[in-house]
Structure 1
Amino acid sequence: MTIKTKKSEETCERLLKVAAEHFAAQGYRQARVADICHEAEANQAAVSYHFGGKYELYESSLKHALEIASAKFPLPCDESLPPEERLRQFLSAACRRIFDESEGSLFPKMMVKEMAEPTEALETILRDLVAKERDIIIGIVREILGPKATEEDLILSHLSIVALFQFFNFSRSIRQMLQRKLRKEPPNIEHVIQHTVGFALAGLHHKQAEIAARV
């Protein structure tokens, strides 16, 4: 690798890192390429050279942020484990991503901004970035509920489980305000995980009974 090539790759990596931080804090529309380039110590032409433009930089930074979160807090992949244990592992990883104090929380933060002001990237996110996570949790739900569960059972159960941990993601600003103004202690992540897992399993077992009681 030549020195020029190495410097080019380093510039690209710095742009991705800084861009993810800016988009997570400000959202796509409010973040400025000039500010990103200044902090990344790169000229604005580097964005066009490496990515094509602001939108392409945004999509790339979303993928970059998810890769970081996935590496730091991986989702369950051992299908030999009981579905209840895989659900615990999934919810543990999801919650830890949200409560992480460093770059592991960048993707959840970017999702909050994207949902508030959707861009064309929303379709890419749903289709390419979170499809694996959706398939994992629906697979777990299908195993727990059994073969008589309908597609509606699976979808509603999936959405209800996601809502349990995404609330903490979307309420981030409220939690921070309470901690700052009322000197509230931040939530104990272990307690949050334990509660979320227990609530999810209770809901699924209730749904199991409902399915079994159908004529």
Structure 2
Amino acid sequence: MAKRKDGIETRQKLLDVACDVFAEKGFREATITEICRRAGANVAAVNYYFGDKESLYVAAWRQTMEQFLSNDILPSKDLPPETRLRVAIHHIIHRVLVDDQSRGYFRRIELMELANPTGLIDDLWKAMIAPRQKELLGIIRDIIGPGASEDTVILCKTSIINQCRGYILTQKSCLESLGGSQFLTAAQADRIAEHITRFSIAGIKAVSGQADDQADSTREKGDGKMFTQSK
């Protein structure tokens, strides 16, 4: 039993350190040697518990995703779409900028993956993140109305997500502009989330107006064709 407990602790220590190293250096620059050195384990332990560096990376991603998405809250579908978007953005910003260090690993490891994609976590991403993004797409579609193309809805979603991600990259300057503290307070995060929400809703509604204009133009062209054909 003691050996089994030691084995579980060694595996978890390797995984925790791997999250740190991959978040710091990305997949390609991280080495098994450094991970083992920091974890106080030998290279054989990685081979035994995970098989190889690729599998360790996927396991690290899974752990950081699960920590990041723990206590995830999806807004009720009974709420107006603008309110649902506000709830979703506030939740994202608090997870991104306020929550504890264990969730911070996901933010950093995600940025590393975005900068240098490995393709190793595509299936995991689809299983764990895609449903949340699908929910966001649905909210945007409800705001923008039926006239928008799927590409337009996806672009709106990408714009919102990248606004949230942008505060990760500029967190230091953001903190300075909001008072110079070391960490964002919940009130400061609310202020940022509210700005993103208002900015995004205004943008979505502007796009919605363009979609309505395009739909009217299409109908007019169609009516013109019908009129010409009838003559």
Residue 193 of structure 1 is matched in structure 2 by: 193
Residue 98 of structure 1 is matched in structure 2 by: 96
Superposed displacement of residue 77, structure 1: 5.2
Structure 2: gaps spanning 5 or more residues: 217-231
* Secondary structure of 2:70's aligned partner: helix
Residue 211 of structure 1 is matched in structure 2 by: 211
Paired with 2:76 and 2:60, the residues of 1 have a C-alpha distance of: 28
Indicate if the aligned counterparts of 1:112 and 1:169 stay in contact, CA closer than 8 A: no
**Do structure 1's residue 114 and structure 2's residue 113 form an aligned pair?**
yes
Alignment length, in residue pairs? 208
Residue 82 of structure 2 is matched in structure 1 by: 84
Superposed displacement of residue 177, structure 1: 11
> What TM-score results when the alignment is normalised by the length of structure 2?
0.78
Residue 220 of structure 2 is matched in structure 1 by: none
Paired with 1:193 and 1:178, the residues of 2 have a C-alpha distance of: 14
Paired with 2:65 and 2:4, the residues of 1 have a C-alpha distance of: 25
> What TM-score results when the alignment is normalised by the length of structure 1?
0.84
Report percent identity of matched pairs: 28
Superposed displacement of residue 176, structure 1: 6.4
**Do structure 1's residue 66 and structure 2's residue 62 form an aligned pair?**
no
- Let me know the Cα RMSD of the aligned residues: 2.5
* Secondary structure of 1:23's aligned partner: helix
Indicate if the aligned counterparts of 1:83 and 1:140 stay in contact, CA closer than 8 A: yes
Equivalent residue letter for 1:62: W
Task: Decide whether aligned partners of structure 1 residues 85 and 178 sit closer, same or farther in structure 2, where only a CA change above 3 A counts.
Answer: closer
Paired with 2:96 and 2:68, the residues of 1 have a C-alpha distance of: 9
More deviation, 133-142/80-89? 80-89
Paired with 2:39 and 2:85, the residues of 1 have a C-alpha distance of: 39
Superposed displacement of residue 178, structure 1: 8.8
Task: Decide whether aligned partners of structure 1 residues 58 and 148 sit closer, same or farther in structure 2, where only a CA change above 3 A counts.
Answer: same
Task: Decide whether aligned partners of structure 1 residues 203 and 176 sit closer, same or farther in structure 2, where only a CA change above 3 A counts.
Answer: closer
Paired with 1:176 and 1:209, the residues of 2 have a C-alpha distance of: 35
Superposed displacement of residue 43, structure 1: 2.3
* Secondary structure of 2:33's aligned partner: helix
Paired with 1:91 and 1:138, the residues of 2 have a C-alpha distance of: 13
Paired with 2:174 and 2:198, the residues of 1 have a C-alpha distance of: 28
Paired with 1:122 and 1:159, the residues of 2 have a C-alpha distance of: 19
Indicate if the aligned counterparts of 2:64 and 2:106 stay in contact, CA closer than 8 A: yes
Indicate if the aligned counterparts of 1:144 and 1:204 stay in contact, CA closer than 8 A: yes
Residue 36 of structure 1 is matched in structure 2 by: 35
Segments ≥4 residues shifted beyond 6 Å: none
